[in-house]
């Protein structure tokens, strides 16, 4: 699903007025009616005649709110409207709708200060008696901490009221671009987004401020929204289908590429095996696991679909490393590899000696943090898959600084290493320069050791099939997340393991491709019977 940055949305609003001749007042009218429709549908017939309180700011979001108040009044609701700021400072379009509301018989109660005294009692009484509350105070505008009087008004919408709470575009007090709370933020049941949803709803604190989303058409052409730059998407099935590599009927194993996974060391062979099996489940024709000699002797033949080779670092192994890279289409380095001098040397030889796309994960990220020049020859074909701790080491900071602004951290990594970055977490981010994809649905079943190794393998397998680094990372994150949802249905969130993800990936593919999921579950889930 395409999202849009606040600055791009303002540009599109203006372009709609300039090029299509649809004035701002008409866009407000369309938006306000759509919000009123959304409220009326959810309240049903029993809501008619009951009180709705609409809080309106002095900007365009407030103009939308005046339309909502007028529409609901016309549909038989009792409406209280509050204006925050000064009516004389309204934009021309908002002033038009304010005056129309007044002429309809409802004059907003304006306050230039935070509510206090008798005014605060009236507001509290109105909010407590309302069947619905509409937040039209700020919308996508603010990015700096709120000051009074708006801070006091937004603080009233902290979720304490039992009314059905609706925000236009984003809950007031939430930065629509970063998801940061600007001192206080409304907590609502429904966000009605105009033309497209805004990224801040899924970033940082954003997800905690709302429960349901509805996107409404206000007259901005959809093709303009789809083409807005920089690209930002919320990953969904439609995106994933568009990114999926083709599977022609005439194909053979060579059609879908050969993935090489390099990892595994004594005591940590499982990580490399999970990555290699994750690669198998993403659809490449061949997968080879190159690992420590001792590990190779134990793993060979355990998974019949994998070829297993021995590999190690050091100058004496240069020819063998080069030979292993011949004929490979993508490379995953790091799961369970180890962090000694031999492993650091091996990472360097692999990055320098391979001309195709590379995924660096786990121990390879530790090597990269110690020796950033490893990525010098891989710019434009590198995918990094750090968790917050690894991201902090790569940036020379701490986990807290990463978590406070995950998007900024991911972008900093992408710029530093010339890479596509998958910053893992409850809502993983995929960043390619300024372009962003968000995995919006948390799946607690994925919060287990080895889950990230499977993800690295999946992305590597997609790269081997010819997907671009950004496309492979987005599709890999989506499939991994969907497999987590499959596990939640089959095993719950508590008892699943990373190994369980492997058959669940097959079910995720079936769901994406429209194959009968029940049959797929029966086939790949027989081991759970």
What is the residue extent of each domain of the chain? 6-223, 238-528
User: Which pLDDT score is estimated for 523?
Assistant: 45
CA dist., res. 84 & res. 38, Å (int): 24
Helix axis angle for 501-513 and 469-491, nearest 10°, is 110
The H-assigned helical ranges of 267-311 are: 269-280, 293-299
- Between strands 420-423 and 429-432, the pairing is antiparallel
pTM, full prediction: 0.92
In CATH terms, the superfamily for domain 238-528 is Ribokinase (3.40.1190.20)
The strand pairing partners of 178, in sequence order, are none
What CA–CA distances, in Å, run from 390 to 151, 317, 416?
A: 37, 28, 14
User: Which pLDDT score is estimated for 528?
Assistant: 43
Phi/psi at 496 (nearest 5 deg)?
A: -75, 155
SS3 content of the chain, % helix, strand, coil (to 5): 50, 15, 35
User: Which pLDDT score is estimated for 521?
Assistant: 52
User: Which pLDDT score is estimated for 518?
Assistant: 63
CA dist., res. 34 & res. 52, Å (int): 16
Beta-carbon contacts of 242 under 8 Å, excluding residues fewer than 6 positions away, are none
User: Which pLDDT score is estimated for 212?
Assistant: 97
Which stretches of the chain drop beneath a pLDDT of 50?
Answer: 519-520, 522-529
Phi/psi at 190 (nearest 5 deg)?
A: -135, 135
Does the fold of domain 238-528 match that of domain 6-223?
A: no
| Domain 6-223, second-level architecture | 3-Layer(aba) Sandwich (3.40)
């Amino acid at each position: 699903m395409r999202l849009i940055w606040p600055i791009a949305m303002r540009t599109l609003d203006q372009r709609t007025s300039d090029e299509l001749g649809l004035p701002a007042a008409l866009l407000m009218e369309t938006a306000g009616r759509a919000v009123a429709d959304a409220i009326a549908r959810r309240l049903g017939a029993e809501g008619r005649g009951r009180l709705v309180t609409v809080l309106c700011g002095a900007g365009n979001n407030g103009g939308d709110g005046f339309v909502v108040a007028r529409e609901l009044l016309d549909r038989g609701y009792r409406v209280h409207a509050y204006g925050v700021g000064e009516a004389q400072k309204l934009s021309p379009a908002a002033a038009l709708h304010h005056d129309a509301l007044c002429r309809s018989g409802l004059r907003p109660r304006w306050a230039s200060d935070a509510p206090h005294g008798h005014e605060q009692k009236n507001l509290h009484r109105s909010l407590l008696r309302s069947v619905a509350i509409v937040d039209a105070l700020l919308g996508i505008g603010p990015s700096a901490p709120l000051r009074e009087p708006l801070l006091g008004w937004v603080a009233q919408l902290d979720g304490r009221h039992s009314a059905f709470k609706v925000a236009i575009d984003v809950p007031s007090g939430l930065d629509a671009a970063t998801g940061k709370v600007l001192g206080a933020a409304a907590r609502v049941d429904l966000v009605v987004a105009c033309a497209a949803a805004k990224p801040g709803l899924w970033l940082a604190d954003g997800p905690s401020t709302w429960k349901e989303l509805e996107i409404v058409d206000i007259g901005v052409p959809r093709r303009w929204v789809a083409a807005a730059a920089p690209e930002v998407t919320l990953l969904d099935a439609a995106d994933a289908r568009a990114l999926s590599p083709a599977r022609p009927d005439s194909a053979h194993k060579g059609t879908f590429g050969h993935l090489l996974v390099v990892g595994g060391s004594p005591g940590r062979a499982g990580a490399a095996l999970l990555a290699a099996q994750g690669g198998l489940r993403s659809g490449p024709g061949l997968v080879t696991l190159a690992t420590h000699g001792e590990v190779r002797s134990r793993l060979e033949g355990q998974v019949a679909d994998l070829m297993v080779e021995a590999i190690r670092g050091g100058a004496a192994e240069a020819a063998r490393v080069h030979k292993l890279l011949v004929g490979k289409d993508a490379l995953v380095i790091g799961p369970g590899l180890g962090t000694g001098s031999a492993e650091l040397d091996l990472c360097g030889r692999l990055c320098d000696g391979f001309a195709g796309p590379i995924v660096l994960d786990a121990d390879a990220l530790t090597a990269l943090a110690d020796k950033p020049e490893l990525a010098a020859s891989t710019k434009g074909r590198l995918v990094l898959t750090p968790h917050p701790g690894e991201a902090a080491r790569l940036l020379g900071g701490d986990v807290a600084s990463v978590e406070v602004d995950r998007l900024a951290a991911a972008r900093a990594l992408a710029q530093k290493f010339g890479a596509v970055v998958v910053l893992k977490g409850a809502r993983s981010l995929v960043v390619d320069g300024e372009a962003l994809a968000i995995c919006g649905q948390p799946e607690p079943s994925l919060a287990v050791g080895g889950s990230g190794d499977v993800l690295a393998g999946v992305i590597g397998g997609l790269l081997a099939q010819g997907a671009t680094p950004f496309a492979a990372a987005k599709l890999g994150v989506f499939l991994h997340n969907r497999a987590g949802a499959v596990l939640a249905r089959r095993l719950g969130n508590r008892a699943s393991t990373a190994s369980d993800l492997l058959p669940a990936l097959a079910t995720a593919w079936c769901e994406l491709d429209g194959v009968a999921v029940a049959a797929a579950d029966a086939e790949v889930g027989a081991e759970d019977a």
